């Protein structure tokens, strides 16, 4: 995981320690020079240009006027800088702020939306809550069956219509039945296309109008690279995004995507997915991820 960033920041830490070891106090100019040397590597690790600028500012804030004693101290300062960039206040999922608590999941096809919804349903059910999944992806062949299979596996209810049905009607029915049964959560799965087309956006807007979700979560995959920022912004402009889940962190060798979400798009990370089993979902923790990125 995150080999590219780990290597780059390891080298930055070495250089910071070397400079300090030669008796030089770190200042803005030195720190920027060191980061200039690593810029290409960081860009190749999916760190976007504006993210890189914020990283510079944060590292200058953490390190200028200091001499680090050794590599470990340099790494700790880098970890604090990264955690600062990743930490944004995330919306609360559990306990449910209201009942039923309606969460709309959106994002491109194939990123792991259905799997992620199943993982969340599994977590919530394990905490004793009633959960219903709305199979509102009525577009992609097989999606309804996939949702049903997951729901059976983890023991939660699904509300579905036929393929081609209006997704807003599916979502509406799910909310209605959860209300009638006193269930705490409605998780709405939606269609995604690789190219975010107008028709899809109109469908998502209609779901929002009809069921007024309490939370709209963008699900994206860590492997998307630079296209992630553009996709996320588009969804945010069109329908409004409250928070983000990044999937496939286990397969990400570059590591920049979390920064794209928090610094680039200014959206909080809520969960990260790191595998294909129901348990492979973690609540996002900035310090922990910063440590993992650095191999700590």
Residues that bind ligand GDP (CB under 6 A): 109-115, 192, 247-248, 250-251, 273-276, 280
Identify the CA nearest to 289 among candidates 269, 275, 265.
269
> What's the min distance (Å) between Cβ of 124 and ligand GDP?
17
Query: CB neighbours of 231 closer than 8 A, spacing ≥ 6?
Result: 107, 108, 196, 220, 224
Q: In this complex, which beta carbon is closest to ligand GDP, that of residue 91 or of residue 275?
A: 275
Q: In this complex, which beta carbon is closest to ligand GDP, that of residue 36 or of residue 279?
A: 279
From first CA to last CA, the distance across the chain in angstroms is: 12
> What's the min distance (Å) between Cβ of 35 and ligand GDP?
31
What is the token pair recorded at 127? Answer: 């905490």
Q: In this complex, which beta carbon is closest to ligand GDP, that of residue 109 or of residue 196?
A: 109
> What's the min distance (Å) between Cβ of 277 and ligand GDP?
9
Q: Which residue is nearest to ligand GDP (CB)?
A: 112
The edge-to-edge listing of strands for the beta sheet with 281-283 is 157-159, 131-136, 185-190, 101-106, 215-221, 243-247, 269-273, 281-283
Identify the CA nearest to 231 among candidates 205, 188, 261.
261
CB 280 within 8 Å of CB 119: yes
Measured distance CA(291)–CA(296) in Å, rounded: 5
Q: In this complex, which beta carbon is closest to ligand GDP, that of residue 96 or of residue 220?
A: 220
Q: In this complex, which beta carbon is closest to ligand GDP, that of residue 9 or of residue 274?
A: 274
The strand pair at 281-283 and 185-190 is best described as unpaired
> What's the min distance (Å) between Cβ of 21 and ligand GDP?
41
The answer to whether the peptide bond before residue 243 is cis (omega within 30 degrees of 0) is no
Q: How many residues does the chain have?
A: 296
Q: In this complex, which beta carbon is closest to ligand GDP, that of residue 192 or of residue 268?
A: 192
């Amino acid at each position: 995981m995150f080999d590219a960033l780990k290597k780059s920041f390891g080298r930055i830490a070495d250089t910071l320690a070397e400079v300090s070891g030669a008796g030089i106090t770190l200042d803005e100019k030195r720190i920027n020079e060191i980061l200039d040397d690593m810029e290409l590597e960081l860009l190749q690790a999916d760190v976007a240009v504006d993210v890189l600028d914020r990283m510079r500012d944060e590292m200058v804030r953490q390190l200028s006027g200091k001499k680090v004693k050794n590599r470990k101290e340099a790494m700790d300062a880098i970890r604090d800088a990264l955690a600062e960039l990743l930490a944004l206040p995330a919306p609360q999922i559990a306990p449910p702020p209201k009942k039923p608590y309606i969460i709309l999941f959106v994002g491109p096809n194939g990123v792991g939306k259905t799997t992620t919804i199943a993982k969340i349903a599994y977590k919530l059910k394990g905490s004793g809550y009633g959960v219903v999944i709305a199979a509102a992806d009525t577009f992609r062949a097989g999606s309804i069956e996939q949702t049903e299979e997951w729901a059976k596996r983890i023991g939660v209810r699904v509300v579905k219509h036929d393929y081609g049905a209006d997704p807003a009607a599916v979502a509406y029915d799910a909310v209605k039945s959860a209300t009638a049964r006193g269930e705490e959560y409605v998780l709405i799965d939606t269609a995604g296309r690789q190219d975010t087309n107008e028709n899809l956006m109109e469908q998502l807007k209609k779901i929002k109008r009809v069921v007024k979700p309490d939370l709209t979560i963008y699900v994206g995959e860590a492997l998307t690279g630079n296209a992630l920022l553009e996709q996320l912004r588009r969804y945010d402009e069109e329908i409004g995004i409250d928070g983000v889940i990044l999937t496939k962190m286990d397969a990400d060798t570059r590591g920049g995507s979390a920064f794209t979400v928090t610094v680039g798009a200014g959206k909080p990370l809520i969960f990260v997915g790191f595998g294909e089993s129901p348990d492979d979902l973690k609540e996002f923790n900035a310090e922990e991820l910063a440590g993992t990125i650095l191999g700590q």
